[in-house]
Amino acid sequence: MSTPAMRPDASEVYRRYLSAVLLHGHASAKACELGATDLYALNILQLSGPMTPGELAGRTGLTTGPTTRLVDRLEQAGYVRRAADPGDRRKVIVEPVGGPADLDRVMAPARQRVGEILAGYSAEQLDVLFDYFARAADAYQGAADRLRTGSAGTAGTAEH
């Protein structure tokens, strides 16, 4: 099977894109008086729903001690709450209950600009872009999971 020819600077362009997204996330977190990991964890909870602190630790790559402190900070700020697991009251789950009020304001300029960029694409091009986003997210998540578990083979990892 052949693959489409990549432009010679594809890797550099893609790495610059990933770096810019990461830097924007860090700057957004700081502007909302959060640490980048705190904002990342809150995003995980908002996307995936309630989970145990252990599951959150696994998703963030943190150990249990730093995860406890992270949940403490998010709970104190009013973004999450600890609740008894309805299936096993001996367990605690962490539930998102809100987000940083300033986050939408802080992210609005980038979201507006990206929206303007996306408006320049046809419906078919947008379908391809969002198909890529979904599939690349799965590839990166799988690669991260393999790295955390120590089974970091090269098959199926995403570079571009």
Q: What is the pLDDT of residues 32-88, one digit of tens each?
A: 889 999 999 999 999 999 999 999 998 898 999 999 999 999 999 889 999 998 888
In this predicted structure, the answer to whether residue 157 has a pLDDT above a threshold of 80 is no
CATH of the domain at 38: 1.10.10.10
Q: How many domains does the chain have?
A: 1
Q: The tokens 């909870």 sit on which residue?
A: 45
Let me know if residue 132 belongs to a domain.
no
Is the pLDDT at 159 greater than 50? The verdict is no
Residue count of the chain, please give it: 160
Domain assignment present for residue 31? The answer is yes
Strand partners, 94: 51, 82
CA separation for the pair 76, 96 (Å, rounded)? 12
Residue 49: partners with Cβ closer than 8 Å, 6 or more residues away: 95, 96
Q: What range does the domain containing 57 cover? A: 16-99
Residue 2 resides in a domain: no
